[in-house]
């Protein structure tokens, strides 16, 4: 492998993860497209990157599984030699009112969104320390900052990601590794597509910009935090939310 940068993006087969993978590919990084559900969609992202002259690899891994993460990163490092950028984007929702929320729905969301981020940071930080540098970008949410009715589990997981980001940033700064979070607002993806017109209208009324964000808006922020220009920024939470929070 040449000395080009290697970026791992979890949950990169669609939505925000897909947009981040495509944006980082434009910067010349080789992209590892991690997916857990749809191989077909991951292959589409790989094809798009390659059609634009980039380099991409697809590897499946359920980030909630600590052992699977160890195997996954072991494979990435064996095959590509390094990891310069990690974007922890994989996430799920299991919305419901607090009184009716099952323990399983609470645990599943925390296992993927929060523990998954922890597993990936833990695995990649060893390699980045060896390399004497790296960029870690974690996807939080405005819901982790401001809360949202019906999303107690999601809000808790995304608030946890912020605490994890700030602590990891302090631990890893001396090794030239930055750790930052992006907190998207309401972004036009598969996750928001299922919302009724009435719910969408209510959401849009809370956004000073008066519209939903695009996955590309988040991807541009991630590309900046992954760049050499962001080398003195760590432990921060960047809201990409049209002024909502």
| Polymer length of the chain | 245
Neighbour order of strands in the sheet with 56-60: 56-60, 30-35, 6-9, 85-88, 134-139, 177-184, 237-240
Q: Cα angle vertex 86, ends 80, 91, to 5°?
A: 125
Could you tell me which residues come within 8 angstroms of residue 226 by beta carbon, excluding any fewer than 6 positions away?
7, 24, 27, 29, 85, 87, 135, 137
- 154: annotated active-site residue: yes
Q: Cα separations (Å) of 50 from 30, 85, 242?
A: 10, 19, 32
**Considering only CA atoms, which of 164, 139, 138, 143 is closest in space to residue 155?**
143
Active-site entry in 35, 106, 154, 186 = 154
Q: Determine phi and psi for 217, rounding to 5 degrees.
A: -65, -40
Active site residues: 154
């Amino acid at each position: 492998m040449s000395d080009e940068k290697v970026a791992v993006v979890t949950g990169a087969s669609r939505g925000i993860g897909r947009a981040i993978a495509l944006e980082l590919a434009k910067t010349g990084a080789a992209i590892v497209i991690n997916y857990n559900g749809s191989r077909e969609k991951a292959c589409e992202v790989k094809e798009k990157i390659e059609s634009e002259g980039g380099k991409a690899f697809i590897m499946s891994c359920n980030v909630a599984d600590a052992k699977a993460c160890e195997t996954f990163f072991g494979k990435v490092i064996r095959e590509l030699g390094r990891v310069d950028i990690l974007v922890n984007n994989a996430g799920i929702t299991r919305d419901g009112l607090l009184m009716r929320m099952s323990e399983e729905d609470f645990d599943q969301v925390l296992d993927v969104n929060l523990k998954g981020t922890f597993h990936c940071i833990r695995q990649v930080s060893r390699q980045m320390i060896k390399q004497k540098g790296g960029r870690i970008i974690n996807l939080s949410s405005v819901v982790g900052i401001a809360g949202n009715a019906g999303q107690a589990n999601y809000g808790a997981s995304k608030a946890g990601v912020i605490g994890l980001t700030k602590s990891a940033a302090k631990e890893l700064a001396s090794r030239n590794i930055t750790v930052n979070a992006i907190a998207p607002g309401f972004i036009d993806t598969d996750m928001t597509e299922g919302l009724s017109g009435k719910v969408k209208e209510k959401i849009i009324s809370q956004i000073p910009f008066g519209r939903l964000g695009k996955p590309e808006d988040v991807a541009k922020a991630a590309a900046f935090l992954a760049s050499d220009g962001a080398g003195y920024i760590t432990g921060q939470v960047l809201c990409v939310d049209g002024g909502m929070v």
